[in-house]
Amino acid sequence: MLAKELISDVVPSLKTSDSGLDALNWMEVFRVSHLPIVNNKVFLGLISDIDIYDLNRADESLGNHALSLSSPYVYQHQHIYDVIELAARLKLTVVPILNDSKEYQGLVTQSDLLHAFADLIAAHTPGGIIELEFLPRDYSMSEVSRIVEDADAKIWSLYVTQAGNERLNVTIKLNRTDLQPVLNAFDRYGYQVKTIYAGDNEYDNTAKKNYDALMRFLNF
């Protein structure tokens, strides 16, 4: 999934001639804290609500406002992971998208990014979740996939996170809620199962509550 596929066709950009009050009104409408300033497809930077409040002259044009951020953006051919990394690192509610000529193409909102990431990890599809723990030298994705498929299951999504300096957590979303055959297979091969979220038990209820909470947040 590339950045250009995530561009919002609703949220507008601002011009230097717009006032700080105009910017704040648009931010309130679209529930964001940042908006790009663009003149003739030239991206000049992001302005935040804090930038405007700090100047304390909301009726002045944006050209008179100092920007706290140094023109953050991603190119349209970059992957969604790059968009997420920039948004998380700078705590952005929108991420500007440019083409290879550095012309402004649009933006990705935090809400759209979360929706896209939910699709990416198959959060909306039914299925159980297994979290395994490995030493880095022991982790093999091909081996994990083989064990899962030998137990008559398919992997919808898989991601790896570091659990300290010496451990990896591997979270697997499967296409079935009956996880016992897969758990038995991992047990036979000596794999350490850290957590499960499966059907018809307290783990499934927790997962459903977390998913429902995420969807309420995305639709807020």
Residues of each domain in the chain carrying CATH 3.30.70.260: 122-218
Among 164, 121, 163, 160, residue whose Cα is nearest residue 139:
160
- Rounded to two decimals, the pTM is 0.72
pLDDT of 206 strictly over 60: no
Domain covering 3-118 assigned CATH 3.10.580.10 in the classification: yes
What pLDDT, in 10s, does the model give residues 24-83? 999 999 999 999 999 989 999 999 998 888 877 778 888 777 776 678 999 999 999 999
What pLDDT, in 10s, does the model give residues 98-152? 999 999 999 999 988 888 888 877 777 888 999 998 888 888 999 999 999 999 9
C-alpha separations of 189 from 134, 148, 152, 161, 179 in Å? 13, 12, 16, 22, 16
pLDDT: is 56 or 154 the higher one? 154
> What's the rounded Cα separation, in Å, for the pair 75 and 62?
25
Among 69, 23, 19, 11, residue whose Cα is nearest residue 44:
69
Q: Which backbone phi and psi does 13 adopt, to 5 degrees?
A: -95, 170
* Topology (CATH level 3) of domain 122-218: Alpha-Beta Plaits (3.30.70)
Residues of each domain in the chain carrying CATH 3.10.580.10: 3-118
